[in-house]
A and B are shown apart, each in its own frame.
Chain A
Amino acid sequence: MTDAVVVEGLVKSFGATEVLRGIDLSVAAGEVVCVIGPSGSGKSTLLRCINLLETPSAGRICTLGVEITDPDCELDALRRRIGMVFQQFNLFGHLTVRRNLTVAQRRVLHRGRAEADRVATDALARVGLADKVDAYPAHLSGGQQQRVAIARALAMGPELMLFDEPTSALDPELVGEVLTVMRELAEGGMTMLVVTHEMAFARQVADRVVFMDGGVIVESGPPDEVLVAPREERTRAFLHRVLDPTGLTEAELEGG
């Protein structure tokens, strides 16, 4: 079985700023890979290169067996097979939840209304929002909006799901419902590439964790290695900052 994603020598510059400086990464079919790293490390840019929302400056990317960096590849046809979930949800504000889920099915996959509605209902049930089918996105909580966004991607029957910090814009108490949906998706065998700051999620769900810093992959491996016993000093420093933001040790807390 071919890998779902193969990235070779990926370089991306915005003007004079080199955001990605030579990335090599592959994701096997059915694998869940979490990408972690400090902000500005290029992890979102890497994700956005995989479905060509950003055009790489150099390097080669094969997604689902198609070389997406080939200027002649059928980009729209390939994107149908890749679901993407954004930090800001990006639901279509002028459409109801149902139409958010059916518009691409109807216009891109040319499914009939009845079939599109059925697929939409199924996808909404998977994220636990079957009762919100007639609501407008503005009337949903952030967590519900993000679950609708996941359902919208699922309604297209994707073979690969990209998540770009899906819980970073959520209030803390709403993070859990989105992560639960993602975990169920992972358990169902979906190939997933997740840029996240949720270390507990990465620890429990990821098959592999990739740590990026300064536009390169610093370290990659099973979560128990990268997150618990990192080899690299930079990974250790990052994890320390994330897991212990106040910088206080337990002894200091008790003493203070």
Chain B
Amino acid sequence: MTVAPGPPHRLTRRQRQRTTRIVQYGVFAAVVLLVVFTANWRDLQQGFFRPDVAASMFPGVIFPALVNTLLFTLGAFVFGLIVGTVLALMRLSSVRVYRWVATGYVELFRGLPVLVVLFAVGYGIPIAFPDRAIPGGVYGKMALGLGLTAAAYMAETIRAGIQAVPRGQLEAARTLGMSYTRAMVSIVIPQAFRIIIPPLTNEIILLTKDSSLAYVLGVTATNVEITKFASDVLNTRVNATPLVVAALAYLVITLPLSQLVRRLELRAARAR
């Protein structure tokens, strides 16, 4: 909303711009001051920012909680990336059956809630294959459960990336005598991944937060992750400070990640 005082032609264009800007800053400052001075800071601090409660969460919130969140996320991302790449190649295949299978998989797993998939992995597979255990315990189950779903999303992203690589790249590689597989691995897929770095970052950040679903698998003290750790403290201390600490712990993961990706993108841009 612009509030330009006076008749429209009394001020020059620059004066009008400056006036508008001043009014916008004024409104913003007023809102901030209103919140700052009317909020009940003492009660809010008692409920959400108690230093003693926050202090009691260390070092547990870092180790094992944050470390486990990272492990769950990384496991799911790597597994999802591999399955997603295979699915993407199947969707682009000239073999109709491969295309059908991949399309069916993507449609199914994009539609299922992650919670349901995790439940199926955690309790369905042990019943179906009683003599075999999923390697890695909770870590393996999380990688599988989250990864199966992430693969469906990533497959579409990776397929778009592969299709964005000019056809001539594959042709040039094939005329040098490379097999289709070799050309994809050495030439096309590396360039596809450079194109899809931003959406893949999104995916890994979403996975970081989905890792909080680990509680359905019945985690123990050693493999607890951030959210479960915080909600346990929340229940014992009857105070919301753990949620704030947990939120900060997630930012500790995602902010450096964004920074890292920005660097990767810059590096890729130099080669372009």
CB distance from B13 to the nearest CB of A (A): 41
Asked if A76 meets B171 with Cβ closer than 8 Å, knowing A90-B166, A136-B271, the reply is no
Interface segment among B150-158, B183-191, B236-244: the answer is B183-191
B96, CB-defined interface residue at 8 Å: no
* Chain A, range 72-98, C-beta contacts under 8 Å to B: 76-77, 79-80, 82-84, 86, 88, 90-94
- Complex interface bits, B172-214 against A, C-beta within 8 A gives 1, otherwise 0: 1111111100100011001100100000000000000000000
B111, CB-defined interface residue at 8 Å: no
Q: Chain A contacts of B5 at CB under 8 A? A: none
Tell whether, in the assembled complex, residue B186 and residue A84 are in contact, meaning their CB atoms are under 8 Å apart: no
B51, CB-defined interface residue at 8 Å: no
Tell whether, in the assembled complex, residue A90 and residue B176 are in contact, meaning their CB atoms are under 8 Å apart: no
A62, CB-defined interface residue at 8 Å: no
Q: Of the candidates B171, B172, B177, B268, which one forms a contact with A108 in the assembled complex, judged by CB atoms under 8 Å apart?
A: B177
Tell whether, in the assembled complex, residue A156 and residue B190 are in contact, meaning their CB atoms are under 8 Å apart: no
Tell whether, in the assembled complex, residue A93 and residue B172 are in contact, meaning their CB atoms are under 8 Å apart: no
Bound Cα distance A17, B182 (Å): 33
Asked if A90 meets B168 with Cβ closer than 8 Å, knowing A79-B177, A80-B176, A104-B177, the reply is yes
Tell whether, in the assembled complex, residue A138 and residue B177 are in contact, meaning their CB atoms are under 8 Å apart: no
Chain B residues bordering chain A, tally (CB within 8 A)? 22
* Chain A, range 84-119, C-beta contacts under 8 Å to B: 84, 86, 88, 90-94, 103-104, 107-109
Q: Chain A contacts of B179 at CB under 8 A? A: 76
Bound Cα distance A207, B171 (Å): 28
Tell whether, in the assembled complex, residue B186 and residue A53 are in contact, meaning their CB atoms are under 8 Å apart: no
A152, CB-defined interface residue at 8 Å: yes
Bound Cα distance A92, B268 (Å): 13
Asked if A103 meets B168 with Cβ closer than 8 Å, knowing A79-B175, A80-B177, A156-B177, the reply is no
Q: Of the candidates B171, B173, B175, B272, which one forms a contact with A93 in the assembled complex, judged by CB atoms under 8 Å apart?
A: B272
Asked if A104 meets B171 with Cβ closer than 8 Å, knowing A90-B166, A93-B271, the reply is no
Tell whether, in the assembled complex, residue A88 and residue B168 are in contact, meaning their CB atoms are under 8 Å apart: yes
Tell whether, in the assembled complex, residue A76 and residue B177 are in contact, meaning their CB atoms are under 8 Å apart: yes
Q: Of the candidates A82, A90, A103, A136, which one forms a contact with B171 in the assembled complex, judged by CB atoms under 8 Å apart?
A: A90
A235, CB-defined interface residue at 8 Å: no
* Chain A, range 127-184, C-beta contacts under 8 Å to B: 136, 138, 149, 152-153, 156
Q: Of the candidates B175, B190, B191, which one forms a contact with A84 in the assembled complex, judged by CB atoms under 8 Å apart?
A: B175
- Complex interface bits, B160-175 against A, C-beta within 8 A gives 1, otherwise 0: 0000001011011111
Q: Of the candidates A84, A90, A108, which one forms a contact with B182 in the assembled complex, judged by CB atoms under 8 Å apart?
A: A108
Tell whether, in the assembled complex, residue B175 and residue A53 are in contact, meaning their CB atoms are under 8 Å apart: yes
Tell whether, in the assembled complex, residue A107 and residue B169 are in contact, meaning their CB atoms are under 8 Å apart: no
Q: Chain B contacts of A94 at CB under 8 A? A: 190-191, 194, 268, 271
Bound Cα distance A109, B178 (Å): 10
- Complex interface bits, B12-38 against A, C-beta within 8 A gives 1, otherwise 0: 000000000000000000000000000
Tell whether, in the assembled complex, residue A92 and residue B174 are in contact, meaning their CB atoms are under 8 Å apart: no
Residue among A83, A107, A109, A156 with the most chain B CB within 10 A?
Answer: A107
Bound Cα distance A103, B187 (Å): 9
Tell whether, in the assembled complex, residue A53 and residue B174 are in contact, meaning their CB atoms are under 8 Å apart: yes
Can you list 13 A-B pairs, Cβ within 8 angstroms, ordered by A? A51-B175, A77-B177, A79-B177, A80-B176, A90-B166, A90-B168, A92-B172, A93-B191, A94-B191, A107-B182, A107-B186, A109-B177, A136-B271
List 4 extra interface pairs beyond A53-B174, A92-B187, CB under 8 A.
A76-B174, A92-B191, A136-B272, A156-B177
Q: Which residues of B contact A (CB under 8 A)?
A: 166, 168-169, 171-179, 182, 186-187, 190-191, 194, 268, 270-272
